[in-house]
Structure 1
Amino acid sequence: MQMVEAILAGQRLALARLLTLIENDAPEGWAMLDALYPRTGQAHLIGVTGAPGVGKSSLVNQIARALRHPQDGEPPQTVAIVAVDPTSPFSGGALLGDRVRMRDLSGDPGVFIRSMASRGALGGLAPTTAAVVQVLDAAGFKVILIETVGAGQAEVEIARLAHTTIVVEAPGGGDDIQAIKAGLLEIADLLVINKADRPGADLTERALRSMLELGYPRGHHHPEEWAVATTQPKETWVPPILRTVATEGKGIPEVVRALRAHADYLRASSQWQAREQARLKDILDHMLQAALLARWQAGLPHGFYQEVVQRLLRRELSPHQALEVLLNQMPIPSAENSRLVP
């Protein structure tokens, strides 16, 4: 396939076209991904999540710049950014504003930015995000940063896609235990307090540290522990708590070092392979569920599903009864209306 060869040769236009085909669920796009798939599995997938307004885009921008221009003697890394923006419930469109916020990266040939619309998906990710990430992985990008829409309590989906998950908090949110409510603390590999120059940063850090101590051994989340992960992997990685002011680049080197330490920890402790297996199984499960549902619905008599839904709305069927009717295509209990019988 010419487009596949062009992508492997580093042609950006071909890459952008294939990603569009994948997002539009075009059969030729999936065929090309099939050809590219053997080249996947090399990239470090980093998810960045958190509530809206905490500065995720600014943080991603600075991490990408630091990876491209390392100050500690490490080689520069090629970086792809997948920024999922919310879809408007009214127009169906998306702002795709991350291209504006990350415009200072646009001239770097080692950076590729792709904005995606969430298209109403829960979990902060678009339905085709995993496939887009696979294409970018096959295209040779060593680090792929995946920024979610900031959907709050539904954003834990990112943990199933990424090797490393960054949860971003900000001071002054009005609730020191919001991380527990949102369920984000449980998925964090790194905790970043962005906008740390604002009042309340100390209070936010104390709250996060207290919550970590409820579930992890005391004292393992200090910065001096990061280097240990590369030589003496622990049974449990405890998320370090880092402070940044992303708009000024403050704290970014520490975040990059922690990302590298976590990748080293995953590889040294065999967790990389375990997460990769869980990630691919989750992708397959989601695709299988969608395919089986579509195939099952296609086999129903015309109007059968809609009629059952209407009976459910009229309280003539309970949800459990509706499930039995649909799965077995049987008449509803005590129903004199034979329209439900296929």
Structure 2
Amino acid sequence: MKLDIVAGVLNKSRLALSKAITAVENEQEDAVEIMCKLYPHTGNAYVLGITGPPGAGKSTLTDKIAKEYRKRGKTVGIVAIDPTSPYSGGAILGDRIRMLELSSDEGVFIRSMATRGSLGGLSQKTAEVVKLMDAFGIDIVIVETVGVGQSEVDIVKTADTTMVVLIPGMGDDIQAIKAGILEIGDLFTINKADREGVDRLNIEIQMMLELNPKSVAWKPPINRTIASDNQGVVQVVDSIEEHAVYMRESKELAVRRAERIKTEISAMINEQINRYIAKEVINTSGFDNTVKQLQERETNPYAVVDEIVSKVLK
């Protein structure tokens, strides 16, 4: 079956792509083999991360950006990170409901994913899903995050270009700046720009960028949009494309992708080690005895950890 899925993904079968994503999300037995066989076919898609505080209109803007890319002849994949349902553990699917019109376009593939407790609001499986869409042959993969605050910086680990969306008048523009969101932005979009306070927010972003320049060569542009009316979207996509050109010509893209690989490998190693420790150390009767010894102060946590680490490393 896994060979059918792999062949299907490479032959642009949407059903096969859906099955591959489901296999990865649910950690099915054939998930690793599917990823191994498809990995040589990745590295061609350009990944755009869209982040920002809740209520900034990220989903509406994502929808309009995807439509603009379709007008330009590009295929688009959207990974919409939704909050986890407290009942099923699955994505609530709010983003997909807002993008119903796009879902009928054969050149667009939308997948909602649950955060599943991931602190960054970015599912741990996001990187794998991006790779699957990449192997499928999608040109632009948009990862839209849930919008949960400081840990939104996780998007940098997945995206080639990161766009921060802010809106005036919410009182959290400064909060967004404090959260470090400004430091990760390659470009900024002030959405709902018909609201009062848009000029003040523009100036605040500009001032913060001058205090903390990301790159001497690349000055992050600040665009204004009213996404609900499709105003300013063309300029935003133009800015994304300009940044993509800069990333390639400056060789920064290769550097960023190398960092991404390091981060992914590190996370995978940690995950494997954590599973091993949970199975072979924590969930054992011997460890229960160790806990009792710690409660009675017959040993100390530092000695216990040193002993466990020594055994694991052997």
Does TM, normalized by the shorter one, top 0.5? yes
**Given the alignment of the two structures, is residue 181 of structure 1 paired with residue 178 of structure 2, yes or no?**
yes
Distance (whole Å) between structure 2 residues aligned to residue 205 and residue 23 of structure 1: 39
Unaligned runs of 5+ in 2: 310-314
**Given the alignment of the two structures, is residue 192 of structure 1 paired with residue 189 of structure 2, yes or no?**
yes
Contact 2:50–2:145 (CA under 8 A) maintained in structure 1: yes
- 2:81 is paired with a residue whose SS is strand
Contact 1:89–1:120 (CA under 8 A) maintained in structure 2: no
Partner of 1:28: 30
* TM-aligned CA distance change 1:189 to 1:296, over 3 Å: same
Aligned counterparts, 1:95-114, within 5 A: 95-114=92-111
The alignment covers a number of residue pairs equal to: 306
Distance (whole Å) between structure 1 residues aligned to residue 29 and residue 108 of structure 2: 28
- 1:277 is paired with a residue whose SS is helix
* TM-aligned CA distance change 1:285 to 1:111, over 3 Å: same
Distance (whole Å) between structure 1 residues aligned to residue 100 and residue 43 of structure 2: 28
Contact 2:38–2:135 (CA under 8 A) maintained in structure 1: yes
Aligned counterparts, 1:66-105, within 5 A: 66-70=68-72, 76-89=73-86, 92-105=89-102
**Given the alignment of the two structures, is residue 325 of structure 1 paired with residue 304 of structure 2, yes or no?**
yes
- Matched residue type, 2:26: N
* TM-aligned CA distance change 1:26 to 1:327, over 3 Å: farther
Distance (whole Å) between structure 1 residues aligned to residue 162 and residue 171 of structure 2: 24
* TM-aligned CA distance change 1:311 to 1:67, over 3 Å: farther
Distance (whole Å) between structure 1 residues aligned to residue 172 and residue 33 of structure 2: 48
Partner of 2:312: none
Q: Deviations over 1:111-157 (max 9, x none)?
A: 00000011111112111111111010000001000011111111111
Partner of 2:56: 54
Contact 1:124–1:158 (CA under 8 A) maintained in structure 2: no
Contact 1:124–1:154 (CA under 8 A) maintained in structure 2: yes
* TM-aligned CA distance change 1:13 to 1:206, over 3 Å: same
* TM-aligned CA distance change 1:329 to 1:69, over 3 Å: closer
In the TM superposition, residue 306 of structure 1 has moved relative to its aligned partner by 5.8
TM-score, with normalisation over the residues of structure 2? 0.91
* TM-aligned CA distance change 1:296 to 1:100, over 3 Å: same
Distance (whole Å) between structure 1 residues aligned to residue 279 and residue 259 of structure 2: 30
Unaligned runs of 5+ in 1: 71-75, 218-233, 331-342
- 1:145 is paired with a residue whose SS is strand
- Matched residue type, 1:195: K
In the TM superposition, residue 93 of structure 1 has moved relative to its aligned partner by 3.7
Partner of 1:243: 224
* TM-aligned CA distance change 1:251 to 1:31, over 3 Å: same
**Given the alignment of the two structures, is residue 271 of structure 1 paired with residue 271 of structure 2, yes or no?**
no
- 2:281 is paired with a residue whose SS is coil
* TM-aligned CA distance change 1:310 to 1:263, over 3 Å: farther
**Given the alignment of the two structures, is residue 2 of structure 1 paired with residue 14 of structure 2, yes or no?**
no
Bigger radius of gyration: 1
In the TM superposition, residue 307 of structure 1 has moved relative to its aligned partner by 6.4
Partner of 2:151: 154
Contact 1:22–1:29 (CA under 8 A) maintained in structure 2: yes
- 2:163 is paired with a residue whose SS is strand
In the TM superposition, residue 329 of structure 1 has moved relative to its aligned partner by 4.4
Partner of 1:334: none
- 2:30 is paired with a residue whose SS is helix
Distance (whole Å) between structure 2 residues aligned to residue 236 and residue 308 of structure 1: 56
**Given the alignment of the two structures, is residue 117 of structure 1 paired with residue 98 of structure 2, yes or no?**
no
- 1:124 is paired with a residue whose SS is coil
Distance (whole Å) between structure 2 residues aligned to residue 121 and residue 274 of structure 1: 26
Instruction: Tell me how large the CA RMSD over aligned residues is.
Output: 2.2
In the TM superposition, residue 174 of structure 1 has moved relative to its aligned partner by 1.1
Identity of aligned residues (%): 44
- Matched residue type, 1:325: V
Contact 1:44–1:143 (CA under 8 A) maintained in structure 2: yes
**Given the alignment of the two structures, is residue 216 of structure 1 paired with residue 213 of structure 2, yes or no?**
yes
TM-score, with normalisation over the residues of structure 1? 0.84
In the TM superposition, residue 295 of structure 1 has moved relative to its aligned partner by 1.5
Distance (whole Å) between structure 2 residues aligned to residue 317 and residue 104 of structure 1: 65
* TM-aligned CA distance change 1:69 to 1:317, over 3 Å: farther
